[in-house]
Amino acid sequence: MFESLKSNIKSANLLQIEGRAFINGEYINQRSVQKMDCFSPIDHRLLKQVDCCGLYEVNLAVTSAKDSFQSGVWSKITPSERKNVLKKWAELLHNNREELILLETLDTGKPISDVMNIDFPQSIQCLEWFAELIDKINDEIIPDKADYICMVTREPIGVVAAIIPWNYPLLMAIWKIAPALAMGNSILLKPSEKTPLTAIKIAQFAAEAGLPPGVLNVLTGGGEVGSIMSYHEDVDCVSFTGSGRIGRKIMQASAQSNLKRVWLELGGKSPNIIMPDYPDLKNAAKSAASAVFSNTGAICNAGSRLLVHQDIKDIFLECLFEEANHFNPGNPLDLTTRMGPVIDEHHFKFILDSIRKGKKEASLIYGGKQVLHESGGFYLEPTIFECSNNDKYISREEIFGPVLSVMTFKTFDEALKIANSTNYGLAAAIWTIDMNYMLRGSKELRAGMVYVNNYEGISNLNLPFGGYKQSGFGRDNSKYALDKYSELKSTVIHLK
Ligand code: NAP
Ligand code: MG
């Protein structure tokens, strides 16, 4: 599978792409539905015209989701029956992996090796993990008087809208869908207009696996679709991953409509602290580069603020430049490429504008230029700034591109202070072999995820993923994700 650039380009040209929204168990054939162009960031080729849904289609999907929920075809079957359908779905996705991997690569411009080794396998693992979890969660009996039985039971919420971003389209879809379906909810999935193709495709395999009509609907289109869902009186929950700006709008929509539950996984500006005692600086630099340049920097938990102890700054930067060099952009269909294009021109301009602002207040010490103009895509060199403090635009704002800000510190306490001086709190990392620093870092860094001597963290599905402060609330992955998609009910029974 995927052996050479030439054969990958050939397979890409042969791909049959589906562009219709999926409602009530089938792709819709609505003649009135508008279409939008879906381009590949690789070379700006038109991949497909995709349905651009509006109020009519959202209403159709909400009705179908609500009917399916109330009928009990999914919500009231046994957990093990749900498990079997989800496992079958994972198997079908696995059997169609070549098509799905290629589709995700074309739609996002990610390096195909990343989709093969990260996005795709982690999506399957997540689906299987929640499938396996669902018949192992027990309700509770609470002690009370002898003639009372008190129960705490978990029930599905109803119609869940999952609104997801463009940076990991397949993985983010599964992170939401898997626990929500495991709990018995019915779903409206809204992928980003920039990357709708795998979300559309996987719905077909869900139906083939036996998911009843109406339980999973995929509504493609722009932000308006997300907005309509957020205001909808018959949507019971919005589970969102994306920017703080849109997250705020969704909370407002909930407040102005039916107080639907809202869960927000938002952005970050995560600190990566390198202490001078860490013995393998080359390894730390390798990880630091990957933490911010992988996925063209479009990683919510990117290590985009590097805090290096002043005594090792020069040697560390030397190692870092060497590692950054491996991320020079290339064709994503080439197996050796580690960084592809930026998602589109709009985002590219935002990143360039951020670099321009950065140059006014900090030193550009690596990269910063557009490359591969002739490709038709928007490719950018990995970029590094040295900042005198944490208050600069470039060291404060989430750029969501391959742009790293480096700062120095003198003491561990100073590093902690800089690290925590941010409105975000998604992730933080510290590199040290001193037990005291490790444990203090774990306790005092205000972030949902703390990595010590690594910057990985998302492959273990038992670990909750989510943030403190303005990085949002609620957790994806792990058993705690079920909290987002269920209501807890207390029942008090007096025996007669
Ligand atoms: P975004 O602009 O906030 O969009 C996210 C989703 O919301 C898209 O599907 C978008 O649709 C939709 N949307 C737009 N306007 C809406 C509205 N008024 N109401 C409801 N939904 C609306 O974010 P993005 O640019 O796609 O993604 C980047 C952001 O996501 C970054 O801040 C990143 O840090 C964050 N992120 C967080 C995590 C995490 O787990 N914490 C993971 C990944 C990404 P359209 O795209 O069609 O406009
Ligand atoms: Mg696209």
Ligand 1 site, residue 189, Cβ cutoff 6 A: no
Amino acid at 168: Y
Ligand 1 site, residue 267, Cβ cutoff 6 A: yes
Residue 30 pLDDT class (50, 70, 90 cuts): confident
Ligand 1 site, residue 24, Cβ cutoff 6 A: no
Ligand 1 site, residue 167, Cβ cutoff 6 A: yes
User: 457 CA distance to ligand 1 centroid (A)?
Assistant: 22
Ligand nearest to the CA of 47: 2
Query: Do residues 167 and 116 touch, judged by C-beta distance below 8 A?
Result: no
Q: Express each pLDDT in 369-426 by its tens digit.
A: 999 999 999 999 999 999 999 999 999 999 999 999 999 999 999 999 999 999 999 9
Ligand 1 site, residue 243, Cβ cutoff 6 A: yes
Cα(217)–Cα(166) distance, rounded to whole angstroms? Answer: 18
Nearest atom (ligand 1) to Cα of 476: 40
User: 47 CA distance to ligand 2 centroid (A)?
Assistant: 8
Residue 2 pLDDT class (50, 70, 90 cuts): confident
pLDDT the model gives residue 31: 77
Query: Do residues 83 and 135 touch, judged by C-beta distance below 8 A?
Result: yes
**Ligand 2 is an ion; residues with CB less than 5 A from it:** 107, 195
Number of Cβ atoms within 10 Å of the Cβ of 364: 16
pLDDT the model gives residue 459: 78
Please return the burial class of 138, using the count of CB atoms within 10 Å of its CB with bins 0-12, 13-18 and 19+.
exposed
Cα(294)–Cα(324) distance, rounded to whole angstroms? Answer: 10
The mean-pLDDT minimum among 3-12, 319-328, 372-381 falls in 3-12
pLDDT the model gives residue 117: 96
Nearest atom (ligand 1) to Cα of 194: 46
Token pair belonging to 489: 């009910």
Ligand nearest to the CA of 340: 2
Q: Express each pLDDT in 157-194 by its tens digit.
A: 999 999 999 999 999 999 999 999 999 999 999 999 99
Ligand 1 site, residue 163, Cβ cutoff 6 A: yes
Ligand 1 site, residue 457, Cβ cutoff 6 A: no
Amino acid at 112: I
User: 481 CA distance to ligand 2 centroid (A)?
Assistant: 28
Ligand 1 site, residue 340, Cβ cutoff 6 A: no
Ligand 1 site, residue 453, Cβ cutoff 6 A: no
Q: How far is CA 286 from the centre of its chain?
A: 23
Whether 300 is catalytic is: yes
Secondary structure letter of residue 259 according to DSSP: -
pLDDT the model gives residue 171: 98
Distance from first CA to last CA of the chain, Å, rounded? 67
Give residues with Cβ within 8 angstroms of 48, minimum separation 6. Answer: 17, 18, 19, 38, 197
Give residues with Cβ within 8 angstroms of 145, minimum separation 6. Answer: none
Cα(466)–Cα(243) distance, rounded to whole angstroms? Answer: 13
User: 168 CA distance to ligand 1 centroid (A)?
Assistant: 11
User: 244 CA distance to ligand 1 centroid (A)?
Assistant: 8
Averaged over 236-253, what is the pLDDT?
Answer: 98
Nearest atom (ligand 1) to Cα of 190: 9
Nearest atom (ligand 1) to Cα of 238: 20
pLDDT at 457 over 80: no
Whether 318 is catalytic is: no
pLDDT the model gives residue 271: 98
pLDDT the model gives residue 439: 98
pLDDT the model gives residue 124: 98
Catalytic residue among 53, 300, 319, 387: 300
Q: Express each pLDDT in 423-442 by its tens digit.
A: 999 999 999 999 999 999 99
Catalytic residue among 128, 265, 381, 398: 265
User: 223 CA distance to ligand 1 centroid (A)?
Assistant: 9
Averaged over 209-226, what is the pLDDT?
Answer: 98
Cα(40)–Cα(51) distance, rounded to whole angstroms? Answer: 17
pLDDT the model gives residue 164: 98
Cα(465)–Cα(380) distance, rounded to whole angstroms? Answer: 29
Q: Express each pLDDT in 276-301 by its tens digit.
A: 999 999 999 999 999 999 999 999 99
Residue owning the nearest CA to atom 13 of ligand 1: 223
Question: Taken in order 156, 162, 168, 174, is the CA torsion positive or negative?
Answer: positive
Ligand 1 site, residue 176, Cβ cutoff 6 A: no
User: 291 CA distance to ligand 1 centroid (A)?
Assistant: 20
